[in-house]
């Protein structure tokens, strides 16, 4: 009716509107905040990368230190920041730019305006000194206060208290400390640079082998006296082979007298070559780095046979070029190559999942167990022909053949010597001979690794020839597997590599094998 007022909107509508508004805010605000944080984090990362790219420091991101760590600029405890893997400088994320300008890194080569090249002073870095270090002046412990304190020389690793630091120490000539024989003094490179006619060589760069081939880094050895360099390869057997291939390139260039001797820090999965040379089956930080360097200095030089593996496919009127590999450890066809092939295929799909040595061995165990049931490599003796030094060998009912150059196989098993009453003389890696054995299957491989069985020993030879007559079979050279069709595999001696053998620690197998060898010599 006219004259009557419209009814007021119900209060529930306003309540619903407020509810919708607050719901939108509660959903959108976290989304916008997360987006803003992501943008800021990306900007900080780009800023850090720009500093890393232009800096002479070897900066590495980190948000976790193994001990309380303090920024060299603001002296505050670091929650997220960076450290230089060359000089050991540690800084907070916000102080990175200041630190990069204020603190110089190690000088790989002295500048042209430096003092006399024989007067190399200490390079002191304040704070974050190693635990259990002692002052060179008062002989008391350093770095035991919860703050930025005390100094460390990045060359000789000497430490000194703040209150013990004197001007005489600041200007004192550095003797490079205990590991001076492993350090190339900057003054030496400066002198070499003055003597060489080519002034364009940049010796100041620090080589990153993930981006630069090792042959470029190894060219530093040509600046040193003959037969004086030693190289420590940190990685698995594949990494060692990569470096040895680079050393072969030096031989081709006529630089054989500069080739360094090679030691190994085992960081791979199997590490059979490292174990053969006395460096152990794996490294997880249990030995201090200083002790590792002492072991490198004390190690003895030995030779390692390297072999050429040539694979010639059948058919195609021999138009295809034969594939060639260089073998340091072993070649195999059969179940162990099949396990390596399956492992390799899955690692290629998701490499981040295979960063643990224990996990990798568990995956190998899984595929070995699977092959025990399937037996994909059975009746190998009907598919291949084997010749040792030109003489054909009759084979029993095998599933796999392994050609060995070193003493260890399968992550620490001595395959050739065996166990029990059937032990054989210790296999050598420098005698120009290959040991050839057979296995009856994956279960037999497992029995060998736990010392419940011996392999079928076929013989020793200077040259091995294997003919795969039919079907596809898995093959591997030093852990690099592939599926191979009918072909001829020929293994011949290629060259020697100069390695370092460390005899400081021996396993039970090493001790027993060495004693057996000594008994044999006494009998002779």
Tens of pLDDT, residue by residue over 290-336, are: 899 999 999 999 999 999 999 998 876 566 788 999 999 999 999 88
Task: Find all residues with CB under 8 Å of 5, minimum gap 6, and list them.
Answer: none
Higher pLDDT, 168 or 55: 55
Tens of pLDDT, residue by residue over 31-56, are: 888 878 787 777 777 777 888 888 88
| DSSP state string for 162-223 | TTT--HHHHTSBP--GGGGGG---HHHHHHHHHH-S-TT---SPPP-TTTS-HHHHHGGGGG
State the average pLDDT over residues 221-239.
Answer: 88
**What is the pLDDT, as a whole number, of residue 354?**
60
Tens of pLDDT, residue by residue over 88-104, are: 899 988 899 899 889 99
**What is the pLDDT, as a whole number, of residue 203?**
59
Q: Does the pLDDT of residue 199 top 70, yes or no? A: no
When pLDDT is cut at 50, 70 and 90, the band that residue 190 belongs to is: confident
Q: Does the pLDDT of residue 221 top 50, yes or no? A: yes
Q: Does the pLDDT of residue 120 top 90, yes or no? A: no
Q: Does the pLDDT of residue 524 top 50, yes or no? A: no
Q: What is the DSSP letter of 74?
A: T
State the average pLDDT over residues 100-125.
Answer: 76
Q: In terms of Cα–Cα distance, which of 441, 442, 424 is closest to 433?
A: 424
Q: Which of 8-17, 204-213, 297-306, 509-518 has the lowest mean pLDDT?
A: 509-518
Q: Does the pLDDT of residue 12 top 70, yes or no? A: no
Q: Does the pLDDT of residue 224 top 50, yes or no? A: yes
Matching residue, tokens 């076929």: 458
Rg (CA), the chain: 31
Query: Does the pTM of the predicted model rise above 0.95?
Result: no
**What is the pLDDT, as a whole number, of residue 154?**
92
**What is the pLDDT, as a whole number, of residue 427?**
84
Gap between the Cα atoms of 450 and 265, Å rounded? 25
Gap between the Cα atoms of 33 and 18, Å rounded? 22
Gap between the Cα atoms of 287 and 290, Å rounded? 8
Gap between the Cα atoms of 110 and 126, Å rounded? 22
Q: What is the DSSP letter of 44?
A: H
When the pLDDT of each residue in the chain is averaged and rounded to a whole number, the result is 82
Tens of pLDDT, residue by residue over 476-496, are: 999 889 999 999 999 999 999
Q: Are 278 and 505 in contact (CB under 8 A)?
A: yes
* Phi, psi torsion values for 403, nearest 5 degrees: -110, 115
**What is the pLDDT, as a whole number, of residue 522?**
40
State the average pLDDT over residues 277-290.
Answer: 89
**What is the pLDDT, as a whole number, of residue 47?**
75
Higher pLDDT, 280 or 15: 280
**What is the pLDDT, as a whole number, of residue 516?**
44
Q: What is the DSSP letter of 79?
A: S
DSSP H stretches of helix in 253-321: 272-276, 289-298
When pLDDT is cut at 50, 70 and 90, the band that residue 63 belongs to is: confident
When pLDDT is cut at 50, 70 and 90, the band that residue 373 belongs to is: low
Q: What is the 3-state secondary structure (H, E, C) of 308-326?
A: EEEEEECCHHHCCCCEEEE
Q: What is the largest CA-CA distance in the chain?
A: 132
What token pair was written down for 410?
Answer: 């399968």
When pLDDT is cut at 50, 70 and 90, the band that residue 11 belongs to is: low
Higher pLDDT, 425 or 136: 136
């Amino acid at each position: 009716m006219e004259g009557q007022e419209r009814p007021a909107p119900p209060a529930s509508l306003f309540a619903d509107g407020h509810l919708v508004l607050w719901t939108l805010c509660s959903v959108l605000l976290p989304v916008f905040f997360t987006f803003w944080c992501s943008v800021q984090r990306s900007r900080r990362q780009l800023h850090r990368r720009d500093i890393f790219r232009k800096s002479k420091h070897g900066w590495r991101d980190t948000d976790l230190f193994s001990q309380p760590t303090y920024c060299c600029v603001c002296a505050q405890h670091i929650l997220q920041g960076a450290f230089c893997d060359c000089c050991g400088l540690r800084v907070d994320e916000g102080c990175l730019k200041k630190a990069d300008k204020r603190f110089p890194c190690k000088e790989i080569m002295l500048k042209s305006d430096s003092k006399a090249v024989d007067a190399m002073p200490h390079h002191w870095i304040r704070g974050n000194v190693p635990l259990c270090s002692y002052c060179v002046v008062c002989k008391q412990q350093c770095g035991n206060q919860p703050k930025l304190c005390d100094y460390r020389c990045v060359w000789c690793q000497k430490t000194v208290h703040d209150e013990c630091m004197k001007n005489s120490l600041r200007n004192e000539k550095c003797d490079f400390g205990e590991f001076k024989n492993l350090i190339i003094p900057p003054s030496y490179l400066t002198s070499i640079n003055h003597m060489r006619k080519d002034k364009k060589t940049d010796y100041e760069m620090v080589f990153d082998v993930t981006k630069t081939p090792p042959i470029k880094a190894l060219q530093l050895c040509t600046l040193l006296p003959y037969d004086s360099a030693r190289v420590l390869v940190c990685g698995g057997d594949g990494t060692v082979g990569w470096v040895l291939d680079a050393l072969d390139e030096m031989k081709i260039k006529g630089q054989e007298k500069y080739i360094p001797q090679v030691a190994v820090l085992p960081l791979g999965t199997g590490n059979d070559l490292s174990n053969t040379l006395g460096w152990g089956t794996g490294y997880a930080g249990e030995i201090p780095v200083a002790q590792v360097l002492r072991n490198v200095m004390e190690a003895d030089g030995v030779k390692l046979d390297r072999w050429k593996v040539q694979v010639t496919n059948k058919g195609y009127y021999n138009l295809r070029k034969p594939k060639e590999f260089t073998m340091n450890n072993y070649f195999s066809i059969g179940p162990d190559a099949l396990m390596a092939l399956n492992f390799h295929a899955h690692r290629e799909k998701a490499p981040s999942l295979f960063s643990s040595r224990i996990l990798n061995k568990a995956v190998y165990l899984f595929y070995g167990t699977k092959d025990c049931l399937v037996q994909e490599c059975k009746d190998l003796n009907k598919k291949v022909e084997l010749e040792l030094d030109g003489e054909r060998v009759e084979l029993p009912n095998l599933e796999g053949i392994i050609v060995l150059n070193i003493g260890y196989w399968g992550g620490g098993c001595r395959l050739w010597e065996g166990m029990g009453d059937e032990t054989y003389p210790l296999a050598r890696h420098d005698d120009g001979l290959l040991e050839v054995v057979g296995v009856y299957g994956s279960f037999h491989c497992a029995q060998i690794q736990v010392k419940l069985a011996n392999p079928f020993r076929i013989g020793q030879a200077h040259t091995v020839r294997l003919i795969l007559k039919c079907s596809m079979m898995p093959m591997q050279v030093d852990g690099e597997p592939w599926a191979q069709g009918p072909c001829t595999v020929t293994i011949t001696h290629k060259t020697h590599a100069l390695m370092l053998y460390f005899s400081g620690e021996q396993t039970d197998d090493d001790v027993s094998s060495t004693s057996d060898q000594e008994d044999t010599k006494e009998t002779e």
